[in-house]
Structure 1
Amino acid sequence: MLTIGIVGTGGIARAHIDAYQRFGTECEIVALCDPAPGRAEALRAELGLEGARVYTDAAEMLATEQRLDLVSVATPPSTHAALSITALEAGVDVLVEKPMAPSLEECDAMIAAARDNGRLLSVVAQNRFRDDIATLKEVLDSGLAGPVTHAQVSSAWWRGTEYYDLWWRGTWESEGGGCTLNHAIHHLDMTLWMLGSPKAVTSVLTNAAHENAEVEDLSVSVLQYDRALAEVTASVVSHGEEQAIVVQGRHARVSQPWKVVAETANPAGFPNREGDAERVAAIEAVAAAHRPLTHTGHAGQIGDMLDAVRERRRPAVDGEDGRRAIELVTAIYEAGVERRTVDLPLSPDDPYYRTGTLVERAPHFFSKTASVGELPGAITVGAKA
């Protein structure tokens, strides 16, 4: 029976706890930690976690709970690195919420702590554990669509201004960024997973509708590959939250929400009306052959992490995967702030590699005008694509 500690008992912690409880014969939550007095106790009582001890200091929890196998870090982004490193140096494996950390410097320190202490580090990327996304990945890996020529990725969310009233949201220092880092990180990770890393990035940032936040609420980026381009829109101003990943291959278009189109040309180069029905059927067959995942979302990733902890193997999403997503976000921010194309990979001597550069250089679109300890209502942890 693996023993689990949860650091941070805000909204996203519920997704972790629910996922761990799905594996009740394999693990037990024995500790909850939150610096806000009474918060961990309230969640323990609400969710019936009578066997979990409560702490307000993570270092104290790690020193006291010497039998911990795995810690979930579910705190604001600016705290991820320090808390993860503390746990790793205490000999505990770590699953840290997205985004991994606000800077590449912090990501590399986390990866080094895992390596130097022989521990496992995983970064939450729960959208990889979705049947629709796994199906799209399998179809692209089949090669039936041909080499990718163009992709359109829409990370479309909507948030009211109250969203940025929460104390840690809405500033470059505490949140690390706006929707590009904290919402589109999901779609950027999926893009990297399916298409690989781009060679260069250009981007534009703005705050279109949240006058109570320093950070961007909308960015539009172009990722440059060898012969392909990918457009990525990151938004919290999109009514309806119509998210999509559309991938154009040389031979066919595939997308989530699911759609397949394969054109063929007439003698003049225009599309034939009937298209390539045989290729469409072959792609649909690959999609139909997808074996549904036993667990999806956070539960899918936590199930894999529990297996990795027992087997001492690399988790499906490790620290390097989390770092790649942060590198892409960092390049988007650098391109948008400096108004130029940014080549990848980023080197340690790039100013944006370092912690604090965004705080110094990024535009403060507006001033944060409210700071509340907690917001009512549920959070949204995923959408259709």
Structure 2
Amino acid sequence: MLKIGIIGTGSIATLHVQGYQRFEQECEVVALCDTAPGKAATRREELGVGQARAYESVEEMLAAEHLDLVSIATPPSTHAALTVAALRAGVDVLVEKPMAPSLADCDAMIAAARENGRILSVVAQNRFRDDTATLKEVLDSGLVGPVSHVQVSSAWWRGLPYYDLWWRGTWESEGGGCTLNHAIHHLDLTLWMLGAPRSVTAVLTNAAHENAEVEDLSVAVLQYDRALAEVTSSVVHHGEEQAIVVQGRHARVSQPWSVVADVAQPNGFPAPGGDPARVAEIEALAAAHRPLEHEGHAGQICDVLAAVRDRRRPAIDGEDGRRAVELVTAIYEAGIERRTVDLPLSPEDPYYQAGTLVERAPRFFAKTASVPDQAGAISVGGSPAAR
């Protein structure tokens, strides 16, 4: 029976606990830690783990418990230090997205896992979904042909109170705005499906949240060898209609699910009726997708538990988490410096270090409120591609 600790007992911790509870024959949540006085003890019953011991110090929890795995569900700026501490204590780690606000932090986390022989996984739960898995299977099949253009709409909506929470809305504590903390889901999927781009251009703004320093809207263009991908990152889109649309030479496929395949008349214009045979072949491949046994956080937790038990690489490791942060970093650098940024980023790039964003990023507005906690449930978007 694997012993699990949860560091951070805010709203996202609920998804971790529920995920572990799906595998009660394999693991047990035995400890909760939160630096807010009394919060871990209070949250035990709410999370359905009343038997878990509560701590207000990570060091105390790691010293007192014989843990196999911890979930880190704290603000992004704390991820690196907590992850390194757990790995050095001989505990495997599943850390929430984003992995960390800087590539230097990511590399320190990866090094700690390697040096201590531990497993490090970064949450990217949208890879564990039937709709995204189906889209990847179709792209991998080659039926759409070489990719020419991709539109990624990471469209979320958050009201002004969202940024009143103490750690949100500043470059120092949140590490960034919607590009880092919301669109990283879709950016990870873009990397998973297409690989890393050669270069990035971007613009950033704060269009609707006068109580936050950080951006609430960015638009980036990713340059591949011949293809382009447009990525909109937003918390200003009413309805949260999220989508990934992939245009290939032979067909277009997208989630929410849609397939279109055009063929040319002799003059190059699209022929009426398109290519029904190719559409049928793609639809048949999609229909043959074998549903995942567990989706979302539960799906990733299932994989991480198996990795801990079998001492193997998890499906999503620290390098995967780092690649997503590298792409976000390139978007920020391109938007702030107003130039095209080539990938990969080197350790000599100023934006590799943690302090550069804090130093150079624009403060669109001043953060005007700082509350310790907020009531209400987490909502995760209005379309299947949002969850």
TM-score normalised by the shorter chain: which range applies? over 0.9
1:45 CA drift (Å): 1.9
* Aligned 1:15-164 pairs, distance under 5 A: 15-65=15-65, 67-164=66-163
Determine the C-alpha separation between the residues in 1 that align with 2:346 and 2:373: 38
Structure 1 equivalent of residue 384 of structure 2? 384
Determine the C-alpha separation between the residues in 2 that align with 1:160 and 1:231: 25
1:49 CA drift (Å): 1.4
Determine the C-alpha separation between the residues in 2 that align with 1:27 and 1:51: 14
* Aligned 1:181-330 pairs, distance under 5 A: 181-330=180-329
The 3-state SS of whatever aligns with 1:357 is helix
After superposition, give the CA deviation of every residue in 1:295-320 in whole Å (9 maximum; x if it has no partner): 00000000000000001111011000
1:47 CA drift (Å): 2.8
1:327 CA drift (Å): 0.1
1:82 CA drift (Å): 0.2
Which of structure 1's runs of 4+ aligned residues deviate more than 2 A? 380-383
Q: Give me the identity figure in percent.
A: 78
The one-letter code matched in structure 1 to 2:222 is L
1:384 CA drift (Å): 1.7
After superposition, give the CA deviation of every residue in 1:318-373 in whole Å (9 maximum; x if it has no partner): 00000000000000000000000000000000000001100000000000000000
The one-letter code matched in structure 1 to 2:162 is Y
The 3-state SS of whatever aligns with 1:230 is strand
1:376 CA drift (Å): 1.0
The 3-state SS of whatever aligns with 1:32 is strand
TM-score calculated relative to the size of structure 2: 0.98
The 3-state SS of whatever aligns with 2:3 is strand
The 3-state SS of whatever aligns with 2:384 is coil
CA RMSD of aligned residues (A): 0.7
Determine the C-alpha separation between the residues in 1 that align with 2:380 and 2:308: 25
1:381 CA drift (Å): 4.1
After superposition, give the CA deviation of every residue in 1:2-55 in whole Å (9 maximum; x if it has no partner): 000000000000000000001011100000000001111111022331321110
Determine the C-alpha separation between the residues in 2 that align with 1:120 and 1:290: 29
Structure 2 equivalent of residue 351 of structure 1? 350
After superposition, give the CA deviation of every residue in 1:137-158 in whole Å (9 maximum; x if it has no partner): 0000000000100000000000
The one-letter code matched in structure 2 to 1:78 is S
Structure 2 equivalent of residue 13 of structure 1? 13
TM-score calculated relative to the size of structure 1: 0.99
The one-letter code matched in structure 2 to 1:246 is V
Determine the C-alpha separation between the residues in 2 that align with 1:192 and 1:138: 14
The one-letter code matched in structure 2 to 1:29 is V
Determine the C-alpha separation between the residues in 2 that align with 1:274 and 1:154: 28
After superposition, give the CA deviation of every residue in 1:119-140 in whole Å (9 maximum; x if it has no partner): 0000000000110000000000
The one-letter code matched in structure 2 to 1:342 is V
1:63 CA drift (Å): 0.6
After superposition, give the CA deviation of every residue in 1:207-242 in whole Å (9 maximum; x if it has no partner): 000000000000000000000000000000000000
After superposition, give the CA deviation of every residue in 1:79-111 in whole Å (9 maximum; x if it has no partner): 000000000000000000000000000000000
Size of the aligned set, in residue pairs, is 384
The one-letter code matched in structure 1 to 2:274 is G
Determine the C-alpha separation between the residues in 2 that align with 1:302 and 1:348: 32
Determine the C-alpha separation between the residues in 2 that align with 1:216 and 1:380: 20
Gaps of 5+ in 1: none
The 3-state SS of whatever aligns with 2:254 is strand
Gaps of 5+ in 2: none
The one-letter code matched in structure 2 to 1:313 is R
Structure 2 equivalent of residue 361 of structure 1? 360
Determine the C-alpha separation between the residues in 2 that align with 1:221 and 1:255: 19
After superposition, give the CA deviation of every residue in 1:221-274 in whole Å (9 maximum; x if it has no partner): 000000000000000000000000000011000000000001000000000011
Determine the C-alpha separation between the residues in 2 that align with 1:352 and 1:263: 43
Determine the C-alpha separation between the residues in 2 that align with 1:111 and 1:47: 30
Determine the C-alpha separation between the residues in 2 that align with 1:380 and 1:89: 35
